[in-house]
């Protein structure tokens, strides 16, 4: 599974969000499931949506509760209490929990982006600012990121050269 792209969407008055067909067709029922888990995003003011079975596989390898410090356990309690399973209807819409939509400040207009293994819901102005900040230093930030990934997973990017990191003029 590889999720990418930027989609300008709307949350309807019942808090339903239509997952674009291009994303839904990438998900395998057997491997990923058709539902999503929604959790607070890594970036404040966003929500992250993970394909159901993928999220469950990720979380299945976490250490048990008794192995966690009180602080880590408290965070686990909080994060899981803020999570919800979103089953799509026949039209590919998911019902977002009102408490999460309000907590992160989403309105009817949203931007949905693919971020490798998950989706993120952003407020349009926040995504516009982020997008505008990233473009001016794109080649440098890409090179830094590839260097970091090489350190974290040596051999993962053997064909990447500095020349391939610089966009064509």
pLDDT tens digit sequence for 86-143: 999 999 999 999 999 999 999 999 999 999 999 999 999 999 999 999 999 999 999 9
Same domain, 33 and 62: yes
**Beta bridge pairs of residue 47:** 40, 121
Q: Domain range spanning residue 72?
A: 6-122
Average pLDDT, the chain: 91
Whole-prediction pTM value? 0.86
CB atoms within 10 A of CB 65: 10
**Res 53 pLDDT > 60:** yes
Sheet strands (E) in the chain: 6-10, 16-18, 36-40, 47-51, 84-86, 93-95, 109-115, 118-122
Q: How far apart are CA 154 and CA 164, in angstroms?
A: 18
Question: What is the CB-side half-sphere exposure of residue 124 using CA atoms within 13 A?
Answer: 9
Same domain, 56 and 136: no
**Res 163 pLDDT > 60:** no
Q: Number of folded domains in the chain?
A: 2
User: Residue 1 falls within a domain, yes or no?
Assistant: no
Same domain, 92 and 116: yes
Confidence of residue 159 (pLDDT cuts 50, 70, 90): low
Q: How far apart are CA 145 and CA 132, in angstroms?
A: 18
């Amino acid at each position: 599974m590889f999720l990418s792209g930027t989609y300008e969407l709307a949350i309807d008055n019942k808090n339903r969000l239509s997952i674009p067909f291009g994303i839904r067709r990438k998900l395998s029922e057997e491997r990923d499931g058709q539902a999503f888990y929604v959790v607070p995003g890594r970036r404040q003011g966003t929500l992250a949506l993970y394909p159901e079975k993928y999220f469950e596989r990720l979380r299945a390898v976490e250490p048990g509760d008794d192995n966690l410090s009180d602080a880590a356990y408290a965070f686990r309690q909080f994060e899981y209490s803020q999570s919800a399973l979103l089953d799509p209807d026949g039209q590919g819409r998911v019902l977002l929990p009102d408490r999460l939509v309000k907590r992160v400040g989403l309105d009817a207009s949203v931007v949905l982006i693919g971020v490798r293994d998950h989706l993120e819901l952003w407020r349009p102005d926040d995504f516009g600012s982020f997008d505008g900040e990233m473009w001016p230093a794109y080649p440098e930030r890409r090179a830094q990121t590839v260097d970091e990934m090489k350190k974290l997973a040596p051999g993962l990017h053997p064909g990447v050269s500095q020349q391939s990191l610089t966009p064509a003029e």
